[in-house]
Amino acid sequence: MKNPMRRKIGSRVPAQIALVPAVMVALVVYCGSTLWTVWISMTSSRMLPNSNFVGLRQYSSLMGNERWSTSVSNVLLFGGLFVAASLTIGFLLAVLIDQRVRAENLLRSVFMYPFSMSFIVTGLAWRWLLDPTLGIEKLLHDIGFASAHFDWIVRPDRVIYTLVLAAVWHASGLVMAIMLAGLRGVDTEIWKAARVDGLPVWRTYVSIVIPMMAGSFATAGVLLSTSVVRLYDLAVAMTNGGPGISSEVPAKFVMDHLFERGNVGLATAAATTMLMTVIAVIAPWLYWQSRQRAAGKLT
């Protein structure tokens, strides 16, 4: 009884010592910087951070800022459409590839290819494709469809959908890979049983396979959601927030005000607001998960 106990403590101490640098980095770099950001957001900082406390003034000017409200509604619209479309398309691609098609490896590589490109390259390529004087619209005009219109990237009311288009193109391949792994993990016996019961294929997917793939959906969903929050480089490369302010996003608001506009106070207020929003979404979910775990439903 005594012996294994001692061994347990003895093996833990070095491990804990080894973790100290990582914990220190997490505490000092992440938590420290976060607290500092929150503090700076309550000062009148301009180009350089200062400690002149002004309370919530930066937050009230942030709330009255139309560019900020546009950015927030843009990222909500973008996030909803992007996550839904990427999951749907990724799943459908995975299902198609899972039909034991010929040249599966080739197709998989083709679908995964966009993901290997940076957002900057993706953004530039789509900007040129969608540019009405260079890309698809011009091509249609040149081959005789003179009345064809595809100028969404220069229309303030449509431009955000072009960002969704490019981002879905970029991310669907990755979702497909995750989903394909999930599909391959489904026991073939289940398919046999469903066939014996005379269940149509679509019904098997909807009622049996998809619920079994909850883990794959969660993984893909989390990955996609993080790229929604940090959406920056794609917007910069593709539209640079334009036309006007119609495709601005919160991360770009923070970066522009932090550097170009020398308005550190407002930028940190925006960054803090972003953090609070993410916490407000994640905290209830973590709480729910811990409740489930306590109840023994989750491992």
Partner 1 sequence: MIRSLAAGLCLGTLLLAPVASHAQTKPQPKAEVIHWWTSAGESAAVKVFADQFTKAGGIWVDMAIAGGVNARTAAINAIVGGNPPTAMQFNTGKQFDDLVENDFLVNMDSLAKSEKWASIMPAAILAAVTRDGHAYAVPINIHGQNWLFTSNAALAKAGATAPTNWDDLFPALDKLKAAGLIPLAFSGQKNWERGLFNSVLAGMGGGEMFTVFWGKRDIATIKSPQFRTVVDTYRRLHNYVDAGAAARNWNDATGLLIQGKAGMQFMGDWAKGEFSAAGQTPDKEYGCTVLGAKSVSYLMGGDVFAFPKQKDPTKTATQMMLAGLLLDPATQIAFAQKKGSIPVRLDLDTSSLDACARKASGWLADPKTQVPANELLSPPALTGAVEDLISQFWNDPSMTADTFIARLASTMAQPF
Interface residues with partner 1 (CB under 8 A) are 46-48, 61, 65-67, 127, 130-134, 151, 153-154, 156, 239-246, 256-257, 259-263, 266
Q: How far is the CB of 14 from partner 1 (least distance, A)?
A: 21
Q: How far is the CB of 21 from partner 1 (least distance, A)?
A: 22
Tokens standing for residue 91:
């799943």
Q: How far is the CB of 98 from partner 1 (least distance, A)?
A: 39
Which residue lies nearer to partner 1 by CB, 123 or 182?
A: 123
Which residue lies nearer to partner 1 by CB, 48 or 295?
A: 48
Which residue lies nearer to partner 1 by CB, 114 or 241?
A: 241
DSSP SS3 for 195? helix
C-beta atoms surrounding 227 within 10 Å: 19
Q: How far is the CB of 118 from partner 1 (least distance, A)?
A: 17
Q: Do the beta carbons of residue 173 and residue 91 sit within 8 Å?
A: no
Q: CA-CA distance, 209 to 95, in Å (whole number)?
A: 11
At a CB cut-off of 8 Å and minimum separation 6, what does 112 contact?
Answer: 173, 174, 176, 177
Which residue lies nearer to partner 1 by CB, 197 or 260?
A: 260
Q: Do the beta carbons of residue 70 and residue 245 sit within 8 Å?
A: yes
3-state secondary structure 65-120: CHHHHHHHHHHHHHHHHHHHHHHHHHHHHHHHHCCCCCCHHHHHHHHHHHHHCCHH
Which residue lies nearer to partner 1 by CB, 53 or 287?
A: 53
Which residue lies nearer to partner 1 by CB, 154 or 181?
A: 154
Q: How far is the CB of 54 from partner 1 (least distance, A)?
A: 10
Q: How far is the CB of 142 from partner 1 (least distance, A)?
A: 15
Looking from the CA of 205 toward its CB, the CA atoms found within 13 Å total 12
DSSP SS3 for 134? coil
Residue 261's DSSP bridge partners are none
